[in-house]
Amino acid sequence: MDDIETAKAILVIGSNTTECHPIIGLRIKKAVMQNDCKLIVAEPKHIRLCYYADKWLQLKPGTDVALINGMMNVMVEEGLADDPFINDRCECDRYDELKAMLKDYTPEKVSEITGVPADDIREAARTFANADNAAIIYAMGITQHTTGTDNVMTLANLAMMTGNIGKPGTGVNPLRGQNNVQGACDVGALPNVLTGYKPVTDPETREKFEKAWGVKLPEEPGLTATEMMSAAAEGKIKAMYIVGENPMLSDANLHHAEKALKNLDFLVVEDIFLTETAQLADVVLPAASFAEKEGTFSATDRRVQRVRKALDAPGEARPDNEIVADLAKRMGYEMANVEPAAVMDEIASLTPQYGGISHARLDALPDGERLHWPCPDADHPGTPILHTEVFTRGKGWFAPAEWQAPAEQPDKEYPLTLTTGRVLWQYHTGTMTRKSDGINEIDPHGHVWISPDDAEKYGVENGKKAVVTTRRGDIDIEAMVTERVPNGVIFIPFHYVESAANILTNDVVDPVSKVPEFKVSAAKVKAK
Amino acid sequence: MSGNGNGHAYKVVLGYGTCGIAAGATAVKEALEQEVESGGYDVDLDIAGCMGLCFKEPVVEIFDRDGCSVVYGDITAKKVPQLLEEHVGKGQVIEDWVVKKSEDPNACDGDFLANQLRVVLRNCGKINPESIEEYIEIGGYEAARKALTSMTPEEVIDEVSTSGIRGRGGAGFPTGTKWGFARKSPGDEKYLICNADEGDPGAFMDRSVLEGDPHTVLEGMILAGFAIGARQGYIYCRAEYPLALKRLDIAIEECHQKGFLGENIFGSDWSFDVKVKKGAGAFVCGEETAMMASIEGQRGMPKPRPPFPANSGLWGKPTNINNVETFAAIPWIIAEGGEKYADIGTEKSKGTKVFCLAGKVRRTGLAEVPMGYTLRQVIFDVGGGIAGGREFKAVQMGGPSGGCLPAEKLDTQVDYDQITAAGAIIGSGGMIVADNRTCMVDLARYFLSFTQDESCGKCTPCRIGTKRMLEILERICEGKGEPEDIEKLQILAGDIKDASLCALGGTAPNPVLTTLRYFKDEYEDHILNHKCAAGSCPALITLYIDAETCTGCAACVKVCPTDAITGEKKEPHVIDAEACIRCKMCLSRCPSESIIAE
Amino acid sequence: MEHECTCSTKFADVDDLRPLEEIIERYGSEKGALIPLLQEAQDAYGYLDEKIMREIAKRAGYQFSQVFGVATFFAQFRLKPIGEYLIKVCHGTACHVAGATQITDEVANQLGIKEGETTPDNKFTLESVMCLGACALAPIMVVGDDTHGKLKPTSIKKVLKHYAGPSGSQASEGDDAE
Amino acid sequence: MEQIKVEIDGLACEAPKGSTILDIARANGIDIPTLCYDPRLSPYGACRLCLVEVEGARALLPACCAKADDGMVIQTTNEKLERIRKTLVELLVSDHPMECQGCSKSGRCELQRLADKYGITESSFTGEVHEYDLHRENPFVMRDYNKCIMCGRCIRICREVQGVGVYDFVNRGFKAVPGTPYDRPMQETPCEFCGQCISTCPTGAIKARPYEDFGRVAALDMLRNACAYFKMPEEDMMKALGLESWVTRTTCAYCGCGCQLDIHVIDNKIVEITSPVMVGSGQGNLCVKGRFGYDFVSSSERLTRPLIKKKGKFEEAEWDEALSLVAKKLGDTKKKSGPDSIGVLSSARATNEDNYLIQKFARAVIGTNNVDHCARL
């Protein structure tokens, strides 16, 4: 991420970077303000980055694939693609297939789908393609769609087509939603892979871990979080152990989540607060916060950094490692040394990417204290930029994707498109930020953002309560009448339990990633 | 301009610059127009910029068919009918009103002009500044045409280098060298700036040139732009000079029409244009980096140099900045040759310099003299000595960055190095003459309060240092000075000079340092004896009425804010020293100058 | 001298944004045009109201803080309304030596206001300014657009009288130089 | 990269071309005092403390701005330079309330350090001092411009780094002061409360208010008063008291940018969060959450004992009881309905080590791959 500053063009799509990833936002701003970088922002609502943008493409929610295909159409038509890179580094027949598909995505047609003027699409395409090095930054605005996987593939197509892979200031850069999403995935907190993304279905992998752990391991991939909820609702999952998560505010279609959790025979929640989810639990285990324990986080750019204990946990709260180990012991499994440093050594021994990472090494590093994985051995300096020579899988693989409309379209009864997200002041379900007095003084409650025209149309007043309804349910929330959202679109941040946006969101998921479509639901609004 | 080629018997030219207008030239203009019309005189009426005879404004010059002229001063609307009737009607000169006659240059006050050598001011007062035709008629724009059509930029720079001219804005850096830097600095986009932000109190030659001969400045800029490779020029002019701004706008418009500015000027493949930027009232914007910040739309705060503007100036591009007087001399240098210019002046200071004579001198106005004249020549031969027959005490040169030179330095030659060695600077060329009623401590305090007021506040020494110096001086003027204050002033002055970010702060202590050098006794008098010998510092003087000359008119009584003056009508009055707050309001009211401050 | 100039121009009301829009449009996207924008806005409205500066910031793409910073840096900009006639007493060196302080005192005395203030009838605003470059006629002051030179405290009353009548009805004879 | 050689105080130094004199000096362990310098910002050259003498140069050069040329011979200290620096500090002190005891910046105030270095307790140049009102109208940023030394760092960091521009200088000369237009509260500006201005302010002019106000200050006050009294930097004082660990370097638990935090703890309470300058992804910059969002750690609502729901109500329990119950219930479910009837949700906010153990627990202990976290949410 440090090299973002050197990019000469940046496409930010589906990411309100300055509010959700403020420090990466600083890097983007620095690139624009001090290094003459051209910034293209593709985003339905007006975000702060728009002030710095050369081009703001105000697309309709859920039309990202169409927009990017449109930009690529322009690049092909105008000969702006990086042909040497494509010939050298990518599978050429796949590129031909992509080109064939792109023919239909003329700027005019795309303009109809996305609402972005055709000339803006052309200009954005030229700006991006003509920059020496151009980076793409995306976040949940790309992934939280039924077409999330297509969205990501399409962005990868764009980066490969322009040769913007494997150099400083380029790449397709996902911004992870939470501090250690990257790390949780790296160490196997996923149903289909073990650490280092090794599939559970691979016998060799299993054998390695079985040997290390001394037990037989299940062969079939497990259920994802959203599937577990459905399975719980159906009675297939009977007990759950939830550590530090709050699906009762973060899941799509909360009424469904509530039903699922209440249907469980047994629920144990381990957290630092009595969250909405913990309140449904049979047993609640008090955990230590990040400031009260040792360990590591892996940031969004694969930067592994230390977490250190700064103070003692309150009362009898215990760090997660001790609780899990204690529980395992009571269930007949002795976890060897669960001191965090020893655990990291165990991870390193089983995970090639983390092979050279240890607490001792991180602690001995001078300023910066980071190692980017892959870092296979103790002498390896880490890898800040991926794919410099070849792609992980060899030749670059273009995956053409046609645009598909979001699962739920506005209609007569629900004429508005609801999209959700975060605001600067709050974080996720507010477990942490809403316990901070100052932040609550500045940002005491949530708002539904609505355009002045729509506000008038639906009789909603600025600063007054409104009722927002979708097919899943309804919430009361204060209205903020603002030109930052276009007509036909409303936005609600999801941090606030008293006006929980996820009561409204659609729990239909992307077929591959299983990510729900938080970003698009059909909704209606009226004054309360 | 010489003669009047268009067939009239006389040409009557009215000096119509800011000084003239302030002295009532507009009424004179109307009267002239009305009288010529009603009297049916065979007269070509015209206006011109300031001739520099500020002490005689409004000024009217009348030319006959042979080009002989008579300059009349102190003309009012009431005098106009008589002037036309006598001079134009009867052909008789009104001797009492004459300032100068062309056939007898030294008569009357003519020696004011006769003792000058005018290069920069060569056209001021002679041509109508609002007419490009008049400028062209006397050879204007020939230098630019010659350079653009037959010289290389390097040749232009060489010619300027040969002339030896040094920047007239104050620092005295060789202009040719400066242009050479800008020329050599890499980059296609370069800028040229004309510094017309004449901020030094007491200097007004730039205003006079812009009002009297704007085309000379534009021609100088065209030459400079060509020489360094800049296609865009800016004139940064004070908003306090509305007439100069108006005439610049007219001149630029005329140039566009003639093809002297814009694309492919003079039929060459060179393009150059000029935009006027109006200053917004900050002395510090005379500093190059602050001026550029201001043109860029920022607070006018200077930046450290290096990088110098020649490498990284306006919008980060190579930029060359010269002041009005420098540009005004360039066309002459190109037309007449650098060597001819170099023949004038001293070894290290070539050419002429315009000084603004003001203060307690008899003849105030613009004096352009060859470098090397002595101060005595300027003040006494040109300026006619001290007004009111008082005694010369000091001359303040270079405004707030300069210093005060005493009588024993009157024979110093006017030349960058000698004036600097004496403790002042040539600066922009202000010369304020002080007589024995000017308190030198108060003058130093005045300049400090000026720089303190104009400090941008960026660097520590200037922002707080000059403030503390001013506070010490204020204490001294109020009679509350301590003996160690002089040492404190000296420490602060030295460190502020060394440590300040820009020239404003770096030169701010100069007025204090030179007054300490030449008039330390006055400081000591204030501190130790609580006396202001000049009778200037209110806290240190007493006012009394000379009973012998007082007529008892009671004019003073009416203005006294504390009713401290009493007396019977037509009898000598007295001032109650206890009640008197020494505001000196009465002093200027007294028709018989009977009130004395000591 | 006569007063044909724009001394008695009525300024636009700050609630009327049309003159400002015209100014902003004229400068378009010209780089670094903040100072001329403020100058023209002040010419149009007589001073820089918060509303006007906010509008300039928004429309011309500046931070409001930057606009305010510039407006408070330069002496020319005024954040408060002024009277019909702005009186600027020059305090350049020549004027200082020639008694500019007494001139300011006298004007203040005559009008019953302090430096920087406006008379209750909104007729006059008194300011001290740096050198106006007419040093040879020191001390001088400018009323509206008219320059008055070689002043003495005794001549102030007469000068002010010319402007004191109802708006635009100044006395015709105006040669105040002595 | 092209290298140049210079001599600083007699020491031969080598550095990449384009380095400033200050860069080279600091890289070689030569201390040049500064006040308006922050490596995060473009050089400014206003405080004049870093003036150095360069052989052959017409004037003293500010080391923070002046680029070194090959072969330069530089003196960073001599009698003249030290005299100037002393005068400058005295001038700053002459308009600064030297009430260090009671100022929470005591011990890390850059002006205080310099005043100590030059032995200045009060200025010999007395005169007018500013009397501004204290600004404390928002919950995060407290401004006391009487302590401002006009280095402009707050203005520049807000513009150059945060790209916001809450402040600019208002007025000029001695009257100039950084401020919001019309002195409006910061909530009425585009302020994002990132606190970058707090992080760069060299004196007590801009401070973090939460750490001033909320009853956490008693111990800190004592510490800082001690620092002021003994004229000791905070770190040295902590070391002297044997409290090395009071500042802990860790990684922010919010968005995933991976900013490095220094958590300052006294009496098991977080008293301030700062970020080390030029270290980690934030380079010393944080956002409102990272800088001010850690009240929750010491919240009274934290869970402190295990809870077991009995008859629909939570009751506090011993760890042993709670864990035994969980082990039994999970074991029973596994036995009855198979391991895949159990789901485990780990946390994207937990550490790598904890996540590893949790998935290991699911797979090795329960025997299911039903383990996931909220990556998708």
Domain of residue A330 covers 181-372
Inter-chain contact B492–D84, Cβ cutoff 8 Å? no
Give B584 or C8, the one with higher predicted confidence.
Answer: B584
Q: Mean pLDDT, to the nearest integer, of B495-512?
A: 94
Distance CA A3, CA A23 (A): 13
Inter-chain contact B460–D150, Cβ cutoff 8 Å? yes
Task: Verify that C105 and C156 share a domain, yes or no.
Answer: yes
Distance CA C164, CA B519 (A): 46
Task: Verify that D136 and D267 share a domain, yes or no.
Answer: yes
Q: Which of A475, A523, A429, A508 is nearest to A256 (CA)?
A: A508
State yes or no: chains A and B have 3 or more CB pairs below 8 A.
Answer: no
Q: Is the pLDDT of residue B558 over 70?
A: yes
Task: Verify that C100 and C47 share a domain, yes or no.
Answer: no
Q: Is the pLDDT of residue B2 over 60?
A: no
Question: Helices A340-350 and D352-360: crossing angle, nearest 10°?
Answer: 70
- Phi, psi of D371, rounded to the nearest 5 degrees: -135, 135
Distance CA A407, CA A145 (A): 9
Task: Verify that C64 and C103 share a domain, yes or no.
Answer: no
Q: Which of C27, C34, C65, C97 to mutate to test the interface with B (most CBs of B within 10 A)?
A: C97
- B27 at C interface, C-beta within 8 A: yes
Cis amide linkage into residue D139, ω under 30° from 0: no
**CA-based nearest distance C89→chain D, Å:** 21
Question: Helices A320-330 and D319-337: crossing angle, nearest 10°?
Answer: 60
Q: Mean pLDDT, to the nearest integer, of A141-145?
A: 89
Q: What is the pLDDT of residues D323-342, one digit of tens each?
A: 999 999 999 999 999 999 99
| Total domain count, chain C | 2
A348's CB contacts (< 8 A; 6+ apart) are A354, A355, A356, A357, A358
Does the pTM of the predicted model rise above 0.95? no
Smallest Cβ–Cβ distance between C64 and the set D169, D172, D181 belongs to: D181
Q: Is the pLDDT of residue B194 over 50?
A: yes
Task: Verify that A310 and A451 share a domain, yes or no.
Answer: no
- Please, how many CA atoms are within 13 Å of residue B551, restricted to the half-sphere of its CB? 7
Return the pLDDT at A389: 64
Q: What is the pLDDT of residues B427-468, one digit of tens each?
A: 888 898 999 888 999 999 999 999 999 999 999 999 999 999
Task: Verify that C47 and C104 share a domain, yes or no.
Answer: no
Inter-chain contact D337–A238, Cβ cutoff 8 Å? yes
Q: For residue A317, give the CATH number of its domain.
A: 3.40.50.740
Return the pLDDT at D155: 96
Q: What is the pLDDT of residues B406-430, one digit of tens each?
A: 999 999 999 999 999 998 998 888 8
Return the pLDDT at B312: 92
Distance CA A391, CA A398 (A): 12
Give C6 or B431, the one with higher predicted confidence.
Answer: B431
- A381 within domain boundaries: no
Token match 């002009």: residue?
Answer: B113
Give B469 or C109, the one with higher predicted confidence.
Answer: B469
Q: Is C101 helix (H, G, I), strand (E, B) or coil?
A: helix
Contact yes or no for A298/D362 (Cβ under 8 A): no
Q: Mean pLDDT, to the nearest integer, of A279-283?
A: 96
- B282 at D interface, C-beta within 8 A: yes
Task: Verify that A98 and A128 share a domain, yes or no.
Answer: yes
Give C158 or D53, the one with higher predicted confidence.
Answer: D53
Q: Mean pLDDT, to the nearest integer, of A61-90?
A: 92
**CA-based nearest distance B499→chain D, Å:** 6
- D361 within domain boundaries: yes
Residue D76, amino acid? T
| Total domain count, chain D | 4
Distance CA D274, CA A211 (A): 44
Return the pLDDT at B579: 85
- D128 within domain boundaries: yes
Which pLDDT band holds residue D217 (cuts at 50, 70, 90)?
low
Q: Is the pLDDT of residue C16 over 50?
A: yes
Mean pLDDT of chain B: 90
Task: List the CATH code of the domain at B10-113.
Answer: 3.40.30.10
**CA-based nearest distance D240→chain B, Å:** 35
Largest CA distance in chain C: 51
Q: What is the pLDDT of residues A445-463, one digit of tens each?
A: 999 999 999 999 999 999 9
Distance CA C72, CA C56 (A): 15
Q: Is the pLDDT of residue D377 over 60?
A: no
Task: Verify that A355 and A331 share a domain, yes or no.
Answer: yes
Q: For residue C139, give the CATH number of its domain.
A: 3.40.30.10
Task: List the CATH code of the domain at B542-597.
Answer: 3.30.70.20
Task: Provide the phi-psi class of B385: left if phi over 0, else alpha when psi is between -120 and 50, else beta.
Answer: left
Contact yes or no for D41/D158 (Cβ under 8 A): no
Q: Which residues of chain C make contact with B279, given a CB cutoff of 8 A?
A: 74, 76
Task: Verify that C69 and C90 share a domain, yes or no.
Answer: no
- Give the CATH number of domain B352-435; options: 3.10.20.600, 3.40.1350.10, 3.40.50.1010, 1.10.287.70: 3.10.20.600
Q: Is the pLDDT of residue D265 over 90?
A: no
Q: Which of D89, D125, D129, D167 to mutate to test the interface with B (most CBs of B within 10 A)?
A: D125
H or E element that contains D196: helix D196-200
- D151 within domain boundaries: yes
Return the pLDDT at A194: 94
Using CB atoms, which chains have 3+ pairs under 8 A with B?
Answer: C, D
Return the pLDDT at D197: 96
Give A111 or B3, the one with higher predicted confidence.
Answer: A111
Lowest-pLDDT range of A139-153, B105-119, B303-317, C34-48: B105-119
**CATH 1.20.1440.230 given to domain B440-528:** yes
Would you state the torsion angle of the CA atoms of residues A255, A261, A263, A264, taken in this order, to the nearest 10 degrees? 170
Q: Is the pLDDT of residue C5 over 60?
A: no
Q: Which of B33, B432, B455 to mutate to test the interface with C (most CBs of C within 10 A)?
A: B432
Q: How many residues does chain B have?
A: 598
Q: What are the strands, taking DSSP E only, across B34-136?
A: 43-48, 60-63, 69-72, 98-101
Q: Which residues of chain B make contact with C2, given a CB cutoff of 8 A?
A: 26-27, 30
**CA-based nearest distance D22→chain B, Å:** 15
Q: Mean pLDDT, to the nearest integer, of B590-597?
A: 83
Task: Verify that D22 and D146 share a domain, yes or no.
Answer: no
Q: Domain coordinates of chain B in residue numbers? A: 10-113, 132-340, 352-435, 440-528, 542-597
Residue B235, amino acid? I
Rounded to a whole number, what is the distance in angstroms from the first to the last CA of chain B? 51
Q: Which of C48, C54, C64, C65 to mutate to test the interface with D (most CBs of D within 10 A)?
A: C65
Rounded to whole angstroms, what are the CA distances from A469 to A479, A482, A490, A521? 14, 20, 12, 10
Q: Is D179 helix (H, G, I), strand (E, B) or coil?
A: strand
Domain of residue D343 covers 339-377
Q: What is the pLDDT of residues A357-406, one digit of tens each?
A: 999 999 988 765 678 888 888 888 888 777 666 666 667 888 889 999 88
Q: Which residue of D has its CA nearest to A192?
A: D369
The DSSP annotation for A334-350 comes to -----SHHHHHHHHHHH
Sign of the Cα torsion A338, A339, A340, A341 reads: negative
Q: What is the pLDDT of residues B208-226, one digit of tens each?
A: 999 999 999 999 999 999 9
Q: Which residues of chain D make contact with B452, given a CB cutoff of 8 A?
A: 173-174
Smallest Cβ–Cβ distance between D168 and the set C50, C53, C66 belongs to: C66
Q: How many CB atoms lie within 10 A of CB C73?
A: 30
Rounded to whole angstroms, what are the CA distances from A266 to A113, A333, D363? 47, 21, 19
- C1 within domain boundaries: no
Q: Is the pLDDT of residue C1 over 70?
A: no
Task: Verify that A333 and A422 share a domain, yes or no.
Answer: no
CA A431 to chain centre: 18
Would you state the torsion angle of the CA atoms of residues B63, B69, B71, B75, taken in this order, to the nearest 10 degrees? -30
Q: Mean pLDDT, to the nearest integer, of D242-249?
A: 72
| Total domain count, chain A | 3
Q: Which residue of C has its CA nearest to B431?
A: C94
Q: Which residue of D has its CA nearest to B506?
A: D59
Q: Which residues of chain D make contact with A18, given a CB cutoff of 8 A?
A: 192
Q: What is the pLDDT of residues A215-233, one digit of tens each?
A: 999 999 999 998 999 999 9
Which residues 253-272 of D are in CB contact (within 8 Å) with A? 253-260, 263, 265, 268-270
Return the pLDDT at A388: 63
- Phi, psi of D230, rounded to the nearest 5 degrees: -90, 5
Largest CA distance in chain A: 67
Distance CA B286, CA B264 (A): 31
Name all contacts of B556-563 with Cβ < 8 Å and 24+ positions apart: B556/B586, B556/B589, B556/B590, B556/B595, B558/B589, B559/B585, B559/B586, B559/B589, B559/C153, B560/B585, B560/B586, B561/B585, B561/C109
Task: Verify that C56 and C96 share a domain, yes or no.
Answer: no
Rounded to a whole number, what is the distance in angstroms from the first to the last CA of chain D? 45
User: Parallel, antiparallel, or unpaired: how do β-strands A303-307 and A371-372 relate?
Assistant: antiparallel
Return the pLDDT at A305: 93
Q: What is the pLDDT of residues D222-232, one digit of tens each?
A: 777 777 778 77
Distance CA D7, CA D2 (A): 17
Sign of the Cα torsion A221, A226, A228, A234 reads: negative
Structure token pair of residue D361: 């627990």
Task: Verify that D68 and D217 share a domain, yes or no.
Answer: no
Rounded to whole angstroms, what are the CA distances from A147 to A65, A100, A518? 8, 21, 12
Task: Verify that A169 and A185 share a domain, yes or no.
Answer: no
Distance CA B512, CA B519 (A): 10
Smallest Cβ–Cβ distance between D257 and the set A215, A299, A309 belongs to: A299
The DSSP annotation for B254-314 comes to HHHHHTSSBSSGGGSS--BEEEEEE--S-GGGGSHHHHHHHHTTS------SSSPTTTS-G
Mean pLDDT of chain A: 91
ipTM of the complex: 0.90
Domain at B132-340: CATH architecture: 3-Layer(aba) Sandwich (3.40)
**CA-based nearest distance C107→chain B, Å:** 12
Rounded to a whole number, what is the distance in angstroms from the first to the last CA of chain A? 45
Q: Mean pLDDT, to the nearest integer, of D275-299?
A: 89
- C6 within domain boundaries: no
- C137 within domain boundaries: yes
Task: Verify that A190 and A334 share a domain, yes or no.
Answer: yes
Largest CA distance in chain D: 90
Q: Is B393 helix (H, G, I), strand (E, B) or coil?
A: strand
How many contacts does A have with D, using Cβ atoms within 8 A?
A: 492
Q: Which of A96, A91, A118 is nearest to A107 (CA)?
A: A118
Q: Is the pLDDT of residue B231 over 90?
A: yes
Which pLDDT band holds residue C172 (cuts at 50, 70, 90)?
very low
Inter-chain contact A436–D294, Cβ cutoff 8 Å? yes
Inter-chain contact A311–D265, Cβ cutoff 8 Å? yes
Inter-chain contact A220–D351, Cβ cutoff 8 Å? no
Task: Provide the phi-psi class of B55: left if phi over 0, else alpha when psi is between -120 and 50, else beta.
Answer: alpha
Contact yes or no for D170/D178 (Cβ under 8 A): yes
- D365 within domain boundaries: yes
Task: Verify that A38 and A67 share a domain, yes or no.
Answer: yes
- C148 within domain boundaries: yes
Q: Mean pLDDT, to the nearest integer, of C70-82?
A: 92
Q: Mean pLDDT, to the nearest integer, of A44-55?
A: 92
Rounded to whole angstroms, what are the CA distances from A381 to A166, A298, A449, B175? 17, 16, 46, 56
H or E element that contains A447: strand A447-450
Return the pLDDT at A471: 93
**CA-based nearest distance A74→chain D, Å:** 32
Q: Mean pLDDT, to the nearest integer, of A156-183?
A: 88
Q: Is the pLDDT of residue A285 over 90?
A: yes
**CA-based nearest distance D201→chain B, Å:** 16
Q: Which residues of chain A make contact with D342, given a CB cutoff of 8 A?
A: 237-241
Q: How many CB atoms lie within 10 A of CB B477?
A: 22
Task: Verify that A198 and A332 share a domain, yes or no.
Answer: yes
Q: Is the pLDDT of residue D211 over 80?
A: no
- D93 within domain boundaries: no
Return the pLDDT at A391: 64
Task: Verify that A148 and A196 share a domain, yes or no.
Answer: no
Return the pLDDT at C153: 82
Domain of residue C62 covers 18-73
Return the pLDDT at B53: 85
Which pLDDT band holds residue D33 (cuts at 50, 70, 90)?
very high
Largest CA distance in chain B: 83
Sign of the Cα torsion D116, D118, D124, D130 reads: negative
A211's CB contacts (< 8 A; 6+ apart) are none
- B515 at C interface, C-beta within 8 A: no
- D316 within domain boundaries: yes
Return the pLDDT at D255: 84
Distance CA B288, CA B308 (A): 9
Q: Which residues of chain A make contact with D281, given a CB cutoff of 8 A?
A: 1-2, 23-24, 299, 301, 303
Q: Which of B21, B26, B562 to mutate to test the interface with C (most CBs of C within 10 A)?
A: B26
**CA-based nearest distance B158→chain C, Å:** 34
Return the pLDDT at C7: 42
Q: What residues form DSSP beta bridges with B43?
A: B10
- D353 within domain boundaries: yes
Q: Which residue of B has its CA nearest to C178?
A: B23
Task: Verify that D183 and D285 share a domain, yes or no.
Answer: yes
Token match 């109006």: residue?
Answer: B278
How many contacts does C have with D, using Cβ atoms within 8 A?
A: 35
Smallest Cβ–Cβ distance between D248 and the set A1, A308, A347 belongs to: A308
Task: Verify that D131 and D182 share a domain, yes or no.
Answer: yes
Which residues 315-334 of D are in CB contact (within 8 Å) with A? 319, 322-327, 329-331, 333
- Please, how many CA atoms are within 13 Å of residue B36, restricted to the half-sphere of its CB? 17
Q: What are the strands, taking DSSP E only, across D205-302?
A: 206-208, 247-251, 260-266, 269-274
